[in-house]
Amino acid sequence: MNRLQKLFVPLFIPVLGAIVLLGSAGFASAADDVIHKIVIQVSTDDPRTRKIALNNAVNLQKLYGMDNIMIEIVAYGPGLGLLTKKSKQAKRVESLAMQDIIFSACSNTIKKVTKTTGKKPVLLAGVGTVTAGVARIMELQEQGYSYLRP
């Protein structure tokens, strides 16, 4: 080994290692695309606010693509009406539920409405239930979901 080789070989190996590490780190981040997650609270009977909540979900899904965002709309209290057969947005909610937007209705609210009115609210197709709407929002935030209340 000549003098030049003795000088560059010890420098070449660490530099090559750094290139390999940086290259693989860049590759890993491209493969691990960030999935956006958001929970949207609906707790009002205001039609305008409900419409905004649905518009927000649709706009986010259009922006990021269905495969790159997880959206859950949680309705409780006066907001439960959005997810029932009596909702003016019923067709839209059912359509969005088929487009990977999750709708969760608060069971505590359903029980309260049933007790008060004597009639159990009829939920729309594609709507699930959770024990407590507020608790569901908290759990989703603990899982890294962003929170939105229009």
Domain-wise residue ranges, the chain: 1-32, 33-148
What's the confidence (pLDDT) of residue 3?
54
Containing 136, the helix (H) or strand (E) segment is helix 133-142
The fold of the 33-148 domain, in CATH, is Hypothetical Protein Ychn; Chain: A, (3.40.1260)
Q: What is the pTM of this model?
A: 0.78
The SS3 of residue 71 is strand
Q: Quick one: the chain helix, strand, coil %, rounded to 5? A: 55, 20, 25
pLDDT digits (tens, 9 = 90+) for 43-66: 999 999 999 999 999 999 999 999
pLDDT tens-place string over residues 119-144 = 999 999 999 999 999 999 999 999 99
Q: Tell me what pLDDT residue 128 has.
A: 98
**Alpha-carbon distance values, 78 to 28, 68, 84, 147 (Å):** 45, 31, 11, 19
**Mean pLDDT, to the nearest integer, of 55-83?**
97
pLDDT (0 to 100) of residue 108: 98
Q: What is the pLDDT of residue 130?
A: 98
Indicate the pLDDT class of residue 118, thresholds 50, 70 and 90: very high
Mean pLDDT of the chain: 86
pLDDT at 101 exceeding the cut of 50: yes
Question: What is the Cα–Cα distance from 87 to 127, expressed in whole angstroms?
Answer: 13
* Per-residue model confidence (pLDDT) at position 78: 98
